[in-house]
Chains A and B, each alone.
Chain A
Amino acid sequence: MSVGYKPVLWNRQKRMYDFVILGAILVYCVIFIGLNVVYHPEIAPSTLIIRTTATLAVLMLHIILCIGPLARIDRRFLPLLYNRRHLGVSMFLVAAFHGIFSLFWFHGSGNVNPLFSLFTSNLQYHSFVDFPFQTLGFVALLILFMMAASSHDFWLKNLDPKVWKTLHMLVYWAYALVIMHVMLGAYQMEQSPVLSSMLGVGLMVIITLHLVAGFKEGRKDHQRHQFIENGFVKVAALDEIPENRAKIVHIGKESIAVFKYDHKLSAISNICKHQNGPLGEGKIVDGCITCPWHGYQYLPHNGSSPPPFTEKVATYQVLLIDQVVYVDPKPFPEGTAVEPVMIYG
């Protein structure tokens, strides 16, 4: 949480995560290079470098894009989500190696600047099949660079979470550009249906996971709300909300998490200030609402992070009538203290 920006504290989970990333990269490189050397002994070292890094980066990008929806579908994938930025930065480094090496190998040592050559060697921008595919990879790499460079929470705080999130949603544009880069480049030379199937399966898996996760979220968004006087909206019967957990309601543009804890009820915004994580899927730990994505914490009665942290979210008025919980969807300013509703009996 943001108060000062210190070197990352490596706990056991982080170390294991990075160990797995490094191990998987090494296993991939050893097998990919080894099989190429055995089955294609005539392959050029430069080609081997370009293809190893290219295929590895594409594989890593697929895994990265699967983690988000998987964590939405099943919370047990959250450990993969928590340190996903490590995987993202690792993927960028592999992709950057591929891009920079290819740029100098294919465009360097010539009669013009390599970057100028990249954009002017093939001028068939008007043609789909003949489109200069390397430029697509270059733009994708620029996006991945911006994401990797801004992955630290320093940028999250200083860019504003919404801007930061928008920037990082560009990963889908990068993915689309990468797919086109491969289809209009390397795959123009390949004839094996296995290779095209691999890319097709990857694309379908990502689309399917996002649709399933979106469908799951959409069902929550389309709850019917029963309004009562003074603008309050029925949330749930009291016993539907587990202790130290929340019930999420979406009313108009408001996404609200109503928490039950210590014989009390409080409502805050469902949107975490860090990365828009779903606070209502979190839990009250040590008296604080704890975001399931990255563990950011807020006090339930005022939506403020405990000192010395400074994050604040909106709060809402709650009512309890005849064991039924109601909330007023009109938000109070972020960090406003609201007296919790007491639960008697």
Chain B
Amino acid sequence: MGQDEFYIGWQAKAPQSYAQWTRLVIPLIFVLVLVVAVLYPLNQQGFSNSTSELGKFTKIEGVIYKYPVPMLKVKIGENLYQNLLLVGFGKQDALPTLEYLEQQFGNLEAYRMVLNAEMVYYEGRTVLEVPFSQNKKIDFKKLDKPLPPQKIESLGKVTLQGEIVDSKCYLGVMKPGFGKIHQSCGVRCISGGIPPMLVTQNGKGASNYFILIGAKGEPIGKDLLPFVGKAVKISGELEKVDEWMVLKINPENVHFYASTEFESVYYTGN
């Protein structure tokens, strides 16, 4: 660099030595950009293969049940049914839709209804977002005879270790839908009425899902907010409602679990 060469930004051209140096530096900046753009995607954690169809409405026919949480029981084969969780728009429960339908029909279990829903699903579990605005006018049919009653089986007292998540995000809306990075979203969802769920792992890579409700079957989400997104140990009464596992708990029996990973083997016992 010549002593007399002097760079002034408002001049049209930079002195030769400055221009040459800049021409050398700019490619290096692009190399840096490339390195970061390549290294991050190749080294980040993978994502679940869950599916979210938010924005795409599908007509789904079934019977609404409110226990343990709002669900739509749909027929998937001869004498074969699946229960899909019902939630509302965004981070809210399906209450506006259900209350409206109850006003119209009374006992919801006596009708087969066709709901406009956006599907979220993962590992055989499905959540239906049923916004009130999309379900003011729906097709329905009074059942000639009621569906087989829900099969409720008590499995006794258990203590489980896992992470409390909101079912909607975990099953597909968010990736990841667990852990600290999702914690505040999970809190917002559960406080809005999205059913809370305990996710455990069996040590062999498979997950188990437990819908969390109060000991008397009441919603319990707001009592669980401090525990969302963290490793917890929960004791309660395990119940199987059709294909869903339900854990009826007292909030006093939820404790932080000293583990940095939420994976842990769950066990049952009296």
Contact = CB atoms under 8 A, between A and B. Distances in A.
Note whether A and B form a binding pair. Answer: yes
Contacts of A285: 6, 8
Contact of A40 (B13, B46, B192): B46
Given A27-B30, A185-B181, A109 B41 contact: no
A83 B17 CA distance: 18
Given A13-B13, A47-B47, A117 B175 contact: no
Nearest to B181: A189
Contact of B34 (A27, A51, A188, A195): A27
A292 B7 CA distance: 7
A147 to B, nearest CB: 19
Contacts of A282: 6
A294 B187 contact: no
B142 to A, nearest CB: 34
B48 interface: yes
Given A24-B29, A24-B30, A186-B181, A107 B188 contact: yes
A218 B226 CA distance: 51
A80 B33 contact: no
Give the one of B9, B29, B191, B193 with max A CB within 10 A: B9
Interface string A34-47: 01100110111011
Contacts, number: 186
Contacts of B36: 28, 55, 59, 198
Interface stretch (A71-79, A159-167, A310-318): A71-79
A247 to B, nearest CB: 14
Contact of A12 (B8, B12, B42, B187): B12
B53 to A, nearest CB: 12
A199 to B, nearest CB: 10
Given A27-B30, A35-B38, A189-B180, A47 B188 contact: no
A189 B42 contact: no
B14 interface: yes
Contact of A292 (B6, B12, B38, B191): B6
B91 A110 contact: yes
Contacts of B89: 109
Interface stretch (B20-28, B56-64, B73-81, B212-220): B20-28
A242 interface: yes
A75 B1 contact: yes
Contacts of A290: 6, 8
A24 B33 contact: yes
A22 B215 CA distance: 58
Given A44-B52, A109-B89, A121-B187, A32 B40 contact: yes
A82 B196 CA distance: 54
A11 B14 contact: no
B18 A78 contact: yes
Nearest to A118: B184
A192 B40 CA distance: 10
A43 B14 CA distance: 45
B44 interface: yes
B43 A194 contact: yes
A132 B184 contact: yes
Contact of A191 (B1, B7, B45): B45
Interface string A170-214: 000000000000001110111110110010000000000000000
10 A-B pairs with least C-beta separation: A109-B90, A82-B9, A121-B184, A76-B21, A110-B91, A31-B37, A192-B43, A35-B41, A283-B6, A106-B185
6 contacts: A31-B37, A40-B41, A40-B47, A79-B19, A110-B188, A283-B4
Given A32-B37, A185-B181, 12 more contacts: A14-B9, A31-B34, A40-B41, A44-B175, A59-B32, A76-B22, A108-B91, A112-B188, A118-B184, A133-B180, A189-B176, A198-B39
Interface of B: 1, 3-4, 6-14, 17-19, 21-22, 25-26, 29-30, 32-34, 36-50, 52, 89-92, 173-176, 179-185, 187-189, 191-193, 226, 230
